[in-house]
Structure formats: C-alpha cells, structure tokens
Structure 1
C-alpha cells in the first residue's frame, strides 16, 4: 500500500508539471516547446507505476526536500515573454535533447526508476557509461530549454534555484549507493556525474 501511494504521488507530481505548458499549446515554435515539455512529463508519470521495489532506501526530510526542490521548482515556470529567432530554436533543441536523453536513460534503467535515494540495482549501460546521472542532466537541460523558449525573470530564477537542490539530491543518492561495492566500482569507471569532462 505504501509503495502504491508513493507511485501515485510521483505520477501526480509529473502530471502537475504539465500544467504550465498546457495553457499555451499552438502550432508554432513555442507551441512545439510546450508539447515537448508535456510529453516528457507524461512519459515520466506513466513510468512511475512500473518501478522495482528498492533493496534499500533513504527516506527522511532532507531527501524529500532535495528531491522535491529538484523536481517541483521547474514546474512553476510560466510560458510568458515568448522568445523568437535563434533563442527560440535553441530552446526547442535543448528541450528535445533533454527529453531524448532522459527517456533513453529511462529505457536503460528499466524498472529501476525512483525519486528518493534508493538502490534498485546498478545501471551502467547506455548513457550511464558516460555520466552517472543522465536522467537528472536531461531534466535540467529540458528545463533550461523551456526557460529559453520563455525567457523571463521568474523562469531564470527557478532554474538557478533548482541547481543546488539537484546537487544536494545527487550527493544524497551517491552517499546511499556508495554502500554497494558495485556502485563504488562504477564510480571509479565513470568519474563524471552530469557531463563528460566537466562535472
């Protein structure tokens, strides 16, 4: 029952992420940016119901705050101040790249998908061969792309505010997974968290 409730809460959080973009659907470049955002959130909502139960997990106020901040803050972005020209095109490209990276990583994760720090098995194939957290990186790129499509102070502040929560969340996950010798070996093989050669 507890796991089913967790799956439902997770799915609802992704469905809520669709709301800002749903107000501005149209057959324009900006409309395409909204469709990409909605598709990404909808896929993640559906996949929330197909997860493995974790072998171990860390559930406390700190992990809930870090995970919630990372996921929820970008959902408060609003589609105002529509960009044009190269910025609009680049924003859409970022969004598409973010969705593709996130979903390809999700395919390789299979049912090992979760939000709070947990060990559902170590995944080291696909995008995980290059970085340890491609799903988070994809989510960040998708969010930045949306903010580029709709550049305003609110959206930029929300992206900047999301970064510390994402880093905090990654630190928590790696602290939890480091108890597993297989993950420690994986960290030795793949030194980068989000982008090869940078971080």
Structure 2
C-alpha cells in the first residue's frame, strides 16, 4: 500500500515540483510506517476490533487523501513549514520512545522523558501539525472528510491506549504529572 501511495505521490510531485507539501506528506507517511517495522514487540496489545480499526484507519488514512491540488487556504511555504515542524516533532517523540513505538495500543513501558514531558501522546500532536499543513494547502471536501475521520480515529485510539495503560501504576502517576494528552490546554 505504501508503494502505491509513493508512486502516486511522486507522480503528482514530478508534475508540479513546487508542491513541497505533497513531498512532505510522503516523508511523514514513510517515517511512520518505516519506523513501525523496527518497534519492540509488546507482551500485550489491544487486538479488539475497535482498537484495530482505529489503529489501521488512523495509520493508513493517507490512502484516501486526494493528492491532486486543492484550494490553498494558506501558501505552500506556510503549509510546508507546518509539516516540517510536525515531522520534526514526530521524530523527537519517536526518539524519546526509542523502540517502544507501535501501531496497536499496547503497554511497551511508560516513557516520561523527551517529548513525553510536555504531553502524553506527542506523536499524535506531530501527526496533527503535519496533517494540518497538508490540508490547509490541499483543501477540498474529500481531504476535509479524510482528515476529520482520521482525527476522530486518533482520538478513539488515544482513549483506548490510555485505558490499557491505566492498569499500570507508573502510567497513573505519569498522568498526574502530565495533564494533557495531545494539545496543551485543550485535550
């Protein structure tokens, strides 16, 4: 699936090389999927249907994104800047986790260093910033629906993950120190 997406994205980008946001969307997707291949396998994962559907939908949503140009709500450079900030934040969050990164909700150990000092799910913040950068430059009804569904799936995914992690004393203690899940002051 990643190969098909890469082919379509690169074709669109070669036709319009000024569309940096398209190239950065590909980089973001590749980092997420690529790094998940090196994740440590947890003892227990949440394989229940809702968790599985939200995790897969929240990860592979990019297959439904319309890659052809849409309306520009912001300039390409503003969108690309947001995407770069989001990608760098994702990398910081993943480096903070080391190999404790995965797609399905699981307890791979409580991490409270690095990006996890600021919010409990910093990777999702990175995804949100990256996705907003692309959406604002490639706006259209299809992309609005895809990203709205993706954000909803990520919220359910976060809630499911926290339900699983809340059985851990260390995580309950961590939640008292770091109040917000994704966006400080909001959620």
Q: TM-score, normalised by structure 2?
A: 0.89
Q: State yes or no: 1:38 paired with 2:31.
A: no
Partner of 2:179: 191
Q: CA deviation at 1:68?
A: 1.7
Alignment of 1:1-199 (within 5 A): 18-26=6-14, 28-30=17-19, 32-83=20-71, 86-199=74-187
Counterparts of 1:15 and 1:52, CA distance in 2: 24
Cα RMSD (Å) of the superposition?
Answer: 2.0
Whether the aligned pair in 2 keeps the contact of 1:15 and 1:45 (CA below 8 Å) is no
Secondary structure at the counterpart of residue 24 of structure 1: helix
Using the TM superposition, give the Cα deviation of residue 75 of structure 1 relative to its aligned residue in structure 2, in angstroms. Answer: 3.2
Q: Which runs of 5+ in 2 are unaligned?
A: none
> Does the aligned pair in 1 maintain the 2:72–2:139 contact within 8 Å?
no
Contact 2:29 2:62 in 1 (8 A): no
**Matched-pair contact (CA < 8 Å) for 1:77–1:154:** yes
Dislocated runs of 4+, deviation >6 Å: none
CA distance in 1: counterparts of 2:3 and 2:165, whole angstroms: 28
- Contact 1:98/1:142 (CA < 8 Å) preserved in 2? yes
SS in structure 2 of the partner of residue 119 of structure 1 = coil
Aligned residues: 186
Structure 1 unaligned regions, length at least 5: 1-11
Contact 1:74-1:143 within 8 A present in 2 as well:
no
